[in-house]
């Protein structure tokens, strides 16, 4: 509670110069993010995800507080970024595998024991990645995204970041979800546990999802984000124009489609060998 009060007080001040004590508060906040003790969003007892706006304000504070410095690793690999967000100082004692090959995990990120990072991949500040999750090559975990246990983010999967507005729920990927290759999950979408996104599926707040099993259409509203039901198997689909030139030209728009719900056969086909973790 004391840390929250300190961060909120600093974030509310309209200043560009920060003292050493201000920096110490932010460093303590960032260390708590790294340990998973504070996070941008949490699920309550009813299963509803609640955003922790003060945490997102703290992350934004770091960008305002930071100074642009050189972070180059060699004369041919030049990097310049805010000194408040260097590469995360991960140690072998955390039991996280970061396979050599050009990956980056930004400071202010929680990686739980058993997480596997295949090169090259990137995890941005404020993200929370839970136990046993695999982040495959060319995958992105955006700022403040919340990724559950035993998730597989396949090659080139994109989990978008939602840092602003601070009251917006970030992208949520719950436990045991498989996100196929070249998928994209954006704009605060929530993918419930054990769902499967087939390769190439794109989920945004503006695109409705058609459930051919339950006869429902899911979309984002002002009151709640887009949610993919638990165990749903989602594939890329299309819906025809109903009128105008689009209909005359026989055009279709992309839309995700739920074609089934997870069963034993599906589980066998998507099971990730434990030895890979």
- SS3 of 220-272: the string is CCCCCCCEECCCEEEEEEEEECCCHHHHHCCCEEEEEEEEEECCHHHHHHHCC
pLDDT at 277: 59
pLDDT at 276: 59
**Does residue 110 sit within a domain?**
yes
| Residue of 73, 39, 18, 40 whose CA lies nearest to 188 | 40
**Does residue 64 sit within a domain?**
no
Q: What is the pTM of this model?
A: 0.94
> Looking at residue 119, which CATH number applies to its domain?
2.160.10.10
pLDDT at 265: 77
**Does residue 5 sit within a domain?**
no
**Does residue 52 sit within a domain?**
no
Give start and end residues of each alpha helix (H) in the chain.
2-12, 20-35, 53-65, 244-248, 264-270
- Structural domain for 149, as ranges: 83-265
Strand 49-51 relative to strand 41-43, pairing: antiparallel
Backbone angles phi, psi at 4, to 5 degrees: -60, -45
Q: Say how many domains are in the chain.
A: 1
pLDDT at 23: 97
- pLDDT tens string, the chain, 277 residues long: the values are 799 999 999 999 988 899 999 999 999 999 999 999 999 999 998 989 999 999 999 999 999 999 999 999 888 989 999 999 999 999 999 999 999 999 999 999 999 999 999 999 999 999 999 999 999 999 999 999 999 999 999 999 999 999 988 889 999 999 999 999 999 999 999 999 999 999 999 999 889 999 999 999 999 998 899 999 999 999 999 999 999 999 999 999 999 999 999 988 777 777 655 655 5
pLDDT at 223: 84
Residue 107 to residue 265: CA distance in whole angstroms:
40
**Does residue 27 sit within a domain?**
no
**Does residue 109 sit within a domain?**
yes
**Does residue 43 sit within a domain?**
no
**Does residue 40 sit within a domain?**
no
């Amino acid at each position: 509670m004391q840390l929250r009060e300190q961060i909120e007080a600093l974030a509310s001040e309209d200043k560009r110069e920060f003292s050493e004590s201000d920096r110490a508060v932010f460093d303590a906040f960032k260390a708590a993010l790294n340990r998973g003790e504070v996070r941008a969003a949490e699920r309550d007892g009813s299963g509803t995800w609640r955003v922790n706006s003060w945490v997102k304000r703290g992350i934004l504070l770091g960008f305002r507080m930071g100074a642009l410095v050189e972070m180059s690793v060699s004369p041919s690999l030049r990097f310049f970024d805010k000194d408040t967000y260097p590469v995360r100082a991960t140690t072998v004692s955390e039991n996280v595998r970061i396979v050599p090959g050009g990956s980056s995990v930004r400071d202010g990120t929680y990686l739980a024991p058993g997480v596997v990072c295949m090169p090259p991949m990137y995890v941005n500040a404020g993200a929370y990645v839970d136990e046993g999750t695999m982040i495959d090559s060319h995958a992105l975990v955006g700022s403040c995204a919340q990724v559950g246990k035993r998730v597989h983010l396949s090659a080139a999967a994109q989990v978008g970041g939602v840092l602003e507005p601070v009251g917006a729920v970030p992208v949520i990927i719950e436990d045991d979800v498989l996100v196929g290759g070249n998928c994209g999950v954006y704009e605060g979408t929530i993918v419930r546990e054990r769902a499967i996104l087939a390769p190439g599926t794109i989920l945004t707040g503006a695109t409705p999802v058609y459930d051919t099993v339950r006869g429902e259409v899911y979309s984002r509203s002002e009151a709640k984000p887009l949610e993919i039901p638990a165990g749903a198997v989602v594939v890329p689909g299309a819906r025809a124009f109903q009128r105008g030139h689009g209909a005359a030209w026989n055009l279709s728009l992309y839309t995700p489609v739920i074609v089934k719900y997870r069963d034993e056969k599906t589980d066998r086909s998507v099971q990730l060998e434990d030895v890979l973790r």
